[in-house]
Structure 1
Amino acid sequence: MRKSKIFILIVLSILIILGVVFIINSINDNEIIQQANLYIENGIYNYDDLLLSDDKMYISMDCIKANDLLDLHWDKDYNKLSIFKNYNNITISYNNDNATYIDCLYLTEDVLKVFNDTLYLNATFLKNNLINSMFVDNNSKNIIISNIEKQYRAKIKTSLKFWTSSDNSEEYTIKRNDIFYIYDKQISNMLLCRNTNGNIGYVLKKNIVPYITIEETTYTKPHRKESITMSWDLVNKKISNFVEFDIPQVIDVLAPTWYELVDNEDYFLDYSNVEYTSYVQSTGKKLWATFNNNFDKELTSKLLNNAYKRSKIVDKVIQITKEKGYNGINIDFENVYLKDKDVYSAFIKELYCKCLTEKITLSVDVAVLSSSETWSMFLDRKAIGEYSDYVVLMAYDQNVSGVSGSVGSIPWIEYGVENLLESVNDGKVILAVPFYTRLWEESMEDDALVVKSTSLKISTAEKLLDELGIELSYDVTTGQNYGEKMIDGVRCRVWNEDETSLSNRMEIVKKYNLVGKGVWAFNFGTEEMWQSLE
């Protein structure tokens, strides 16, 4: 019996201890605001987007981004927050005690807080430094973010209540004819408002009358870039003996593929040639150096997810461009993990901010939207469109292997353009066309269809079609000349890239008022194709 009592006492003691621990943890974790309001004009926000800690209010980064209030990127593992504002890259570095913002030292709690693996920004800090249309009342625990407000005056002496949910709510006094500002939020018969002293609360609708409506217009028409024709020049080794070459009159910009991403202190393999640069620029053409990621998704992920290395890569690109005297930069990162979409966007944003400072043109290559995560879906086309001078749509490689088809049918290209224009202004879009085609060979092996694909330059394709005796006719479906022939049991098929398909592509440029056209690649073309491009 004695043992049973002892056992019961032990169990009760354990339960009491666990209960106390639970209560303490609940108190520590219960930082979500219980009596506060956040109002964002036409906004999207949830209860847990607000946080109250030590009487300070915070708004989640997710909420800020979802409502396009600020363009942010958080490198959580490096205690670094990047803010892209007015095409400047502003960083906040922090530890448990202090945070640095524009060379000023703050207490970390006065800038941000990390809670439940979510980043929150101090509301007062946001109001004072980053969001002009934000109003914060730390007494009533109310926050307003809006560019639209209606000016009212009080008909009689009334009160501005902190909250609408309690009859015992604290309040501010409003005198007759006092001016204040009303927002588009009504609860029962009370309206959200702010007085001229910055106090925020709710006022009875019957006690006020309209005065003036104020609406701030923030939209500005994007500036249209200079119309251009550019061509990549495929270079994947050092030029030992430079020889001058003819550059078609239609070309404004050459973009040699000189730089490949590597994991060392130089960050890029360099195939550049000083004589090449000097010669191109002496002809009146511009040179954009192309920087690619070697199409290596593992390497790209490793480097871009390291906040410090990502910034160093940006600095390296700028350094190379300035030292070599290039007119611009072309970024061609492909085969990137979908999970790295945000860090790739942060890389482009940081690079463009520095390009603007250095007056360097930035172009970024994008693929036609598809279901491929690593070749298409990783691209945030809206962010790239905002943080670049030109967006080059690589409108080719619709079919690469496995299934015979066009390199880029006209309907598919038009779909790609229309989709891109949903995110990017037409004054930035360059339509890049292929100066190559593919020979498809279909055969049966062990009762299975085997498809082989061979890429051909325009000139090579012309010769091969003659040799094989393949006759072409216009295919309305693809907007191209098509031909096929059975040779020794193999079905040879070609959707040809020639003046006909090029002319149809140029009609798309005109139809959608695109700013320019591009070519892959310079040494793939023929004189007739270059003339057609004009």
Structure 2
Amino acid sequence: MEKYTVNKKDKELLDDNIKDTELLDNDVEYKELLDENSEDEELLDDDSEDELIDDDDGLLDNDDFEDDELLDDNFEDDNFQIGDEDALTDEDKKLKAFGKLTSKKGKNVSVRKDKKRIGLGSNRSVKQRKKRKVVLLGMTGAVVIGIIISVIAIINKYTPTKEHMSGYTYFDVIQGDDVLVMLNNETIDTTGIYNNGRLYLSCDFIAQKLNQRFYFDTESKTILYTTATDIYTYNINHNTYTDSKGKSYSEDFDIVDEVNGKLYIDFEYVSKYSNFTYSYYQDPNRVVISNDFNDVDYVTVTKDTVVRYRGGIKSLVLEEVAQDTKIRYNKSIDGWVEVTTESGFLGYIKSDCVSETFTEKRENVYTDNISSIIKDYKISLAWFQVTNTTANNSIGNYLDGTQKVTTLSPTWYSITSNNGDMSCLATKDFVDKMHVRGIEVWPLVDDFDSSINGVTLYSSKTARKKMISTLINDSKKYGYDGINIDFEKVTIESAKHYLQFIRELSVACRNNNIVLSTDNYKPAKFNSFYDLAEQNAFVDYLVIMGYDEHYSGSESGSVASIGFVEEGITGALAQVSSKKLIDAIPFFTRVWTLTTTNGETVTTSKAVGMQVAIDNLNANKAPAIWDETVGQYFGSYELDNVVVKIWLEEDHSIEEKMKLIQHYELAGVAQWKLGLENKSVWSVIAKYNQ
């Protein structure tokens, strides 16, 4: 290649520091600036101008010129080296000198025509090329970043969270010394306390929810606990206690503590005498208790997994559960199973992590060891109503024509004051005569005196003790075989105190071999406070009064339809052992009178014996038609503006009731009251009560 030389004209330009713009305005032609022998293709290593220059996009194809070399704003010498300095031709040196000229002025002079001629391209074309490369790189980077973000998003979307929810957050409590109490999977609005490392729960909570036999006696300010044969007394803030005989016992801890005016009982002491299970947990401190022994649905965890707060893999973790864990099943929801853990969390597990549901009945952990006096024959108890002692002498007449009466219950006792005073119509001669006949005597005690306040009476330890002493002492004095408690005025407010009276009386009766029986209404929600199940634990026999379906003041109807009687039996059997349950049937009915005056009807009734009701229909020539739906004959007639209705009790209706007693294998039958029956019913009763 020929050397480039700088002519005199170029030299003058360089020496005078002619500005780039002046250089561009100069009419010097390229052929004057450059030696005519230095062609573009020679300068660019013989590459053709067409290959070097692309006028449309300004791209340079010659590999000897890198982008960063071409675009250096100062166009320094070392950025335009093709070879060693010694190897430069004159024309190479001319170009180099030209570069120094432009760089000396501190400007990137855009001489497009010249640059095209020497194959350098315009600054604009170069910048476009760099810009496009940057854009290309940016787009590529953006795509890569987008892919990464998408992958991360997908991974995050389908990756279950391992983050846990705090137990304090779940149960909505703050950290402290109180102990959270859970009963049958529900958080209770009460808390326990720790005292000397032992858990104490409130007396009210224990009595209402766990074991009502821990009874707070307001009069003596002590806690009482009743067993089959004893009553234990616990003083507050003491570790000693006594039984009813005065014997003292002690523990290494206070059984009852008073804190800030509130009574607490040692929880684990209570658990020894109660039918519930429990476990302790932390964060927060809590005790989880269960006394629900009904059938429970469970699932088994088939692989290690977690219980989540909600159904979803992004929901926070409540608890980790291991394979083969048995856990309580609640319901299934869209691929998730709602469960309740032993630690008290209600949450969700994926359906594919658990087995099919199965049902188990939880086993009792405590069973009452309370014995009862149960006769080896069916009871046939007839109530004998008397209002004075003289009436006792007529008992022989009432018994004539009866069959297989095993027990008489004369109405001898009534509560007369809130102090526990009683009236008594008992006579020793009556009892002796009944014993001669082979009939036991269980005197009835009622609470019909309207002046009696049940709460005041039953909540008084002194009054309870007085009533019990009277009945036990009279039993010994007159020779009673049993006692029949007919307290029909118990209220929801007095119920817990009434039940304590029954417990205490049962201990005294059991210790003296006296049968204790109670009379109860047909079970219903409104009278559930009579608590037949608790009575069943202490009482020898429970009598269900299977009558008064319709009563004085109600609308007209049967006194004891067959459906009503059966409902009473089945309802009681849900709480009472059949060997203790006696069903009472009516020897009476009601004559209903419906009087209409000026379009308004007034209903009244009168209780009458069996034969009186039959005679009433016969006297008015009113037929009695059997009504299968009530299991009775029904008769009706009309006189002027008065309609009379009677649902009869007689042999056929009594037989239907006795069939139920036999079917349910009850302990026997009771009748209210002796003297209202037709003598023919006794053979019917005897037929089925055996």
TM-score by length of 1: 0.72
Correspondence for 1:288 among 419, 442, 455? 442
Cα distance change on mapping 1:253 and 1:185 into 2, 3 Å: same
Matching residue of 1:228? 379
Output the CA distance in 2 between the equivalents of 1:33 and 1:67: 26
**Count of residues paired in the alignment:** 437
Alignment check: 8 A CA contact 1:134 1:143 kept: no
Q: Which secondary structure state, in structure 2, belongs to the residue aligned with residue 522 of structure 1?
A: coil
Q: Which residue does 1:340 correspond to in 2? A: 494
Deviation at 1:133, TM superposition (A): 9.5
Q: Which residue of 1 aligns with 2:481?
A: 327
Structure 2 CA distance, aligned partners of 1:92 and 1:432? 37
1:153 corresponds to which residue?
Answer: none
Query: Residues 93-137 of structure 1: CA distance to partner in whole angstroms, max 9, x if unpaired?
Result: 53567864334377998121234664311346557x857999999
Are 2:642 and 1:500 equivalent residues in the alignment? no
Question: 1:460 offset after TM fit, Å?
Answer: 2.0
Give the corresponding residue for 1:24. Answer: none
SS of the residue corresponding to residue 469 of structure 1 reads coil
Equivalent residues in 2 for 1:75-474, closer than 5 Å: 75-85=217-227, 87-94=228-235, 100-102=241-243, 103-104=247-248, 110-115=254-259, 118-123=262-267, 126=270, 185=342, 218=366, 226=376, 227-239=378-390, 242-243=393-394, 244-245=396-397, 246-247=399-400, 248-263=402-417, 267-294=421-448, 296=450, 298-370=452-524, 376-400=527-551, 401-474=553-626
After TM superposition, give the deviation of residue 500 of structure 1 in Å. Answer: 1.4
Q: Secondary structure at the match of 1:302?
A: helix
SS of the equivalent of 1:239 reads helix
Q: 1:116 to 1:415 in 2, by over 3 A?
A: farther
**Cα gap change, 1:225/1:146 in structure 2, threshold over 3 Å: closer, same or farther?**
farther
Query: What is the distance in 1 between the residues matched to 2:251 and 2:364?
Result: 33
- Report 1:50-89 matches (<5 A): 50-53=192-195, 56-65=198-207, 68=210, 71-85=213-227, 87-89=228-230
Contact kept in structure 2, 1:471 and 1:483, CA below 8 Å: yes
- Residues 440 and 187 of structure 1, relative CA distance in 2, 3 Å threshold: closer
What is the Cα deviation at residue 355 of structure 1?
A: 1.3
Letter in 1 for 2:393: F
What amino acid maps onto 1:92 in structure 2? T
2:176 match: 34
Q: Distance in 2 between matches of 1:283 and 1:502?
A: 25
The aligned amino acid for 1:81 is: I
Give the C-alpha shift of residue 35 in structure 1.
5.5
Q: Would the alpha carbon gap of residues 71 and 45 (structure 1) be closer, same or farther in structure 2, given more than 3 Å must change? A: farther
CA-CA distance at 1:236 after TM superposition = 1.8
- How far does residue 64 in structure 1 lie from its aligned partner after superposition? 3.5
Q: CA 1:117–1:446 in 2, change beyond 3 Å: closer, same or farther?
A: farther
Higher strand share: 1
Task: Read off the aligned partner of 1:517 and give its amino acid letter.
Answer: V
Q: Partner of 1:460: helix, strand, or coil?
A: helix
What is the DSSP-based 3-state SS (H/G/I as helix, E as strand, rest coil) of the residue aligned with 1:531?
Answer: helix
Q: Which has the larger radius of gyration?
A: 2
Provide structure 1 residue ranges, at least 5 long, that are not aligned to the other structure: 1-31, 148-164, 166-183, 189-214
Q: State whether residues 590 and 647 of structure 2, in contact with CA within 8 Å, keep that contact through their aligned partners in structure 1.
A: yes
C-alpha separation between the residues in 2 aligned to 1:43 and 1:315? 44
Change (3 A) 1:324 1:456: same
2:680 aligned to which of 524, 528, 531: 528
Give the secondary structure class of the aligned counterpart of 1:477: coil
Question: For residue 631 of structure 2, what is the aligned residue in structure 1?
Answer: 479
Give the whole-Å Cα distance in 1 for the aligned partners of 2:557 and 2:240.
56
TM-score (norm 2): 0.57
**Aligned residues of 1:92 and 1:101 also touching (Cα < 8 A):** yes
Question: Structure 1 residues 43, 307: CA separation in 2 closer, same or farther (over 3 Å shift)?
Answer: farther
CA distance in 2, matches of 1:533, 1:470: 28
C-alpha separation in 2, matches of 1:118 and 1:258 = 43
Are the counterparts in 2 of residues 509 and 516 from structure 1 also a CA contact under 8 Å? yes
Q: 1:532 to 1:63 in 2, by over 3 A?
A: same
Matches of 1:486 and 1:96, distance apart in 2: 73
Letter of the 1:441 counterpart: T
Query: Are 1:74 and 1:82, in contact at CA under 8 Å, matched by a contact in 2?
Result: yes
Whichever residue aligns with residue 249 of structure 1, its letter is: Q
Q: Secondary structure at the match of 1:52?
A: strand
CA separation of 1:296/1:80 partners in 2, compared to 1, >3 Å: closer, same or farther?
farther
Aligned to 2:393, what secondary structure does the other structure show? Answer: coil
Displacement, 1:514?
1.1
Q: 1:186 to 1:487 in 2, by over 3 A?
A: closer
Cα 1:344–1:509 change in 2 (3 A) is same
Percent identity over paired residues? 24
Q: For the residues of structure 1 that align with 2:564 and 2:537, how far apart are their CA atoms?
A: 24
Q: Which moved more, 1:523-532 or 1:261-270?
A: 261-270
Other structure's SS at 1:527 match:
coil
Please tell me the residue identity of whatever aligns with 1:75. D
CA distance 1:386–1:240, shift in 2 (3 Å): closer
Alignment gaps of 5+ in structure 2: 1-173, 292-317, 319-340, 346-362
Secondary structure, aligned partner of 1:120: strand
Secondary structure, counterpart of 2:387 in structure 1:
coil
Please say if residues 58 and 122 of structure 1, whose CA atoms lie closer than 8 Å, have aligned partners that are also in contact: yes
Find the aligned partners of 2:198 and 2:177 in 1 and give their Cα distance: 13
In structure 2, what residue type is equivalent to 1:431? D
Q: Distance in 1 between matches of 2:211 and 2:455?
A: 28
Residue 469 of structure 1 deviates from its aligned partner by 2.1
- From the superposition, tell whether residues 310 and 250 of structure 1 become closer, same or farther in structure 2 (CA, over 3 Å): same
Structure with more contact order per residue of length (Cα contacts < 8 Å, sep ≥ 6)? 1
Task: Give the drift of 1:54.
Answer: 5.8
CA distance in 2, matches of 1:440, 1:397: 14
The CA deviation at 1:37 is 6.8
Is the Cα contact below 8 Å between 1:290 and 1:332 reproduced in 2?
yes
